[in-house]
A and B are shown apart, each in its own frame.
Chain A
Amino acid sequence: MTMINEKKYGLMSDVKVARKITNLTSYSVLLFFSALIIFPILWIVSTSLKNEEDLFSLPPQIIPENPTLHAFKQVWIDHPFLAYFRNSLIVVSIATFISVTFSAFAAYGLSRFKFRGHGTFMAFLLASQLFPSIMLLIPFYKIYMTFGLINTHAALIITYVSFTIPFCTWMMRGYFDGISKDLDLAAQIDGAGRFRIFRSVILPLSWPGLAATTIYSFISGWNEYIFALVLTQDEEMKTVPVGIGQLVGEYRIDWAQLMAASLYALIPLTVIFIFFNRYFISGLSAGAVKE
């Protein structure tokens, strides 16, 4: 494919110039938006390095006058963030795995087969996302009480799966719809069963979609607050967003620790994103096989 590109652009020099101009525009757009993102994040970093007295100084200190890493250390001492991170990792990893696996199955079923209740199921999946989630809190609590699941990882895993599975299913269905059905047919003629077609023909072509749904499920679970707060009780069972939320007090916000904790919480997400990022880079493009 790169060969084709080189040949193409090598032949047409005016295209080359045009490309340079578009590249320049592209970089300007990227820089503009990156600046808009970096600006508040710099303030987060700056705040995390300040001591209490400098927080609200006038004029605001963009670069702290008395920078200190105190909050980055103290946040682990004052609060069991190690346990919070452990819980979040367990809950969110398992929930993401279940969500992505099950939704890939369901999406394949919805994309490739016609069956009774097909449309109803799609609408039903959607309905669960259209209902205000705050009103799900009490019914969920009652269900988990009945099954003795309050204050367990299982309750959060089930909750997060039920929150993310509808979007993942719809998204993957859209993705599978984009993959030509001729591939299934060809494999079928070769004698492959439905499950094998799904696993060895369709899934390998769907990595970008799977990566996107994985990232979505992971981030959604990682940042969920109110259900995690209500469904857990012990300090040892709380998750990272609950720990972060607890730094916002009734009368006082522990700004430096709040920011430090948020920055720590970015690390696992960034690692996961970098890992899955390769599926968004060309080279894996399924196009060649598809036509």
Chain B
Amino acid sequence: MKSAFKKRESRSGYFFTLPTLLIVFSLIIYPLGYAIFISMQRTNLISEWKFVGARYYAELLTDAEFLNSLKISLTFAFFVVVGNFVVGLLLAVILNQNLKFATTFKIILMLPWLLPEVVVALIWKWLFNPTYGLINYILNTIGLIDSDVSWFDSSTSALAGVIFVATWKGYPIVMIMMLAGMKNIPAERYEAAAIDGATRLQQFRHITIPGLRPIFLVTCILETAWWFKHFTVIWLMTSGGPAGATKVVSISIYQQAFGDFNFGKAAAESVIILAILLAASYFYSRAIRNDND
């Protein structure tokens, strides 16, 4: 009896998941398998094929420059994700109150997400330009500075700069997901809490945060992955400079693959990233789930 129920259960489960499974399976399994295969070759994918085994993995894991680029990616992703969540969650909480003009504000606050990455990177690069940029001009005019500041000249400021721009571009997705998540929390819970005399902050802490948990988890994992692998904004703003200070791991992959045609090594770097991010996701889901129970 029970096993019949189980069988039906799993049949329904397969029925619902099958279309997605097929799409993802057919498009991901080949590239992933292919990447793992070529990561053990020295290859330009056409005329050169030489088996090298785990050589690239061993090399990469002891290569100071690669490890440093992982560290930069991690720093970048950490600050961008934290920034996105702080700003996105704050704005979502405010917008969820349905104040007057909320829709107008929502549209304005969505705009960075809607703009193409290339435009966002170029416009900020220009605004920060020491000679032609508006930022220096305004600061000069109001007297905060008296000579042109070169914003991205130091390693720290360049990294901070790309983090700022990435956050500017990235927080709306968190905002929208959290707004959707808040609609998933029964309004009665707030009403009951309000009657019990709970303050807004207490409501936020004890109702909103736990209620958002499932969506928080998925957004957090994927945000981390996206920004860890991020390429465009950094490439267009600093190309990894100054002196390698913003050379994230995807720049290194791109240069290996398309700069040097060393697809094997690029694939090995990608597989390492995949492993790191899988481990991070596991860690996240443990941390966030445990907290729940």
Contacts and interface: CB of A to CB of B under 8 A. Distances in A.
A164 to B, nearest CB: 11
B209 interface: no
A97 interface: no
B123 A40 contact: yes
Interface string A1-35: 10010001000000000000011001101100110
Interface string B256-285: 010000010011011001100110010000
Interface in B216-240: 217-219, 221-222, 225-226, 229, 231-232
Contacts of A281: 98, 102-103
B70 interface: no
B80 interface: no
A82 interface: no
A130 interface: yes
A127 interface: yes
B184 A179 contact: yes
Interface stretch (B15-23, B48-56, B61-69, B155-163): B15-23
A71 interface: no
Nearest to B271: A131
Interface string A135-154: 11011100100000000000
A116 B7 CA distance: 10
A185 to B, nearest CB: 13
Contacts of A125: 20, 24
Interface residues of B, number: 106
B133 to A, nearest CB: 7
B99 A27 contact: yes
A240 to B, nearest CB: 8
Instruction: Among A194, A222, A280, find the residue whose CB has the most chain B CB atoms closer than 10 A.
Output: A280
A37 B12 contact: no
A56 to B, nearest CB: 5
Nearest to A134: B254
A40 B108 CA distance: 12
B119 A262 contact: yes
Nearest to A216: B173
Contacts of A170: 218, 221-222
By secondary structure, the B interface counts as helix
Contacts of A216: 173, 176-177
A130 B13 contact: no
A48 to B, nearest CB: 11
A1 B98 CA distance: 14
A114 B9 contact: yes
Contact of B277 (A130, A139, A166): A130
B154 to A, nearest CB: 23
Contacts of A128: 24, 27-28, 32
B253 interface: yes
Contact of A177 (B111, B214, B221): B214
Given A62-B134, A171-B218, A4 B191 contact: yes
Contacts of B263: 138
Contact of A208 (B25, B99, B179, B232): B179
A81 to B, nearest CB: 14
A131, A166, A253 interface centre (most CB from chain B within 10 Å) = A131
Contacts of B266: 135
A277 B20 contact: no
Interface in A55-86: 56, 58-60, 62
A155 B87 CA distance: 36
A179 B186 CA distance: 9
Contacts of A126: 221-222, 225, 278, 281
A175 B180 contact: yes
B110 interface: yes
Contacts of B4: none
Contacts of B23: 102, 158, 161-162, 165
Nearest to A23: B99
A251 interface: no
B37 to A, nearest CB: 11
A209 interface: yes
Given A134-B257, A212-B179, A34 B14 contact: no
Given A58-B131, A208-B180, A143 B30 contact: yes
B183 A284 contact: yes
Contact of B114 (A159, A270, A291): A270
Nearest to A27: B99
A135 B108 contact: no
B134 A290 contact: no
A169 B17 CA distance: 10
A274 B278 CA distance: 36
Contacts of B187: 1, 282, 285, 287-288
B278 A132 contact: no
A269 B114 contact: yes
6 contacts: A30-B105, A126-B225, A131-B270, A158-B23, A262-B119, A282-B187
Given A131-B274, A225-B117, A287-B185, 16 more contacts: A41-B111, A43-B126, A59-B137, A106-B19, A113-B12, A126-B278, A127-B28, A127-B278, A130-B278, A170-B221, A179-B184, A223-B117, A244-B118, A253-B122, A285-B183, A287-B187
Closest 5 CB pairs of A and B: A109-B16, A287-B186, A174-B214, A113-B13, A115-B10
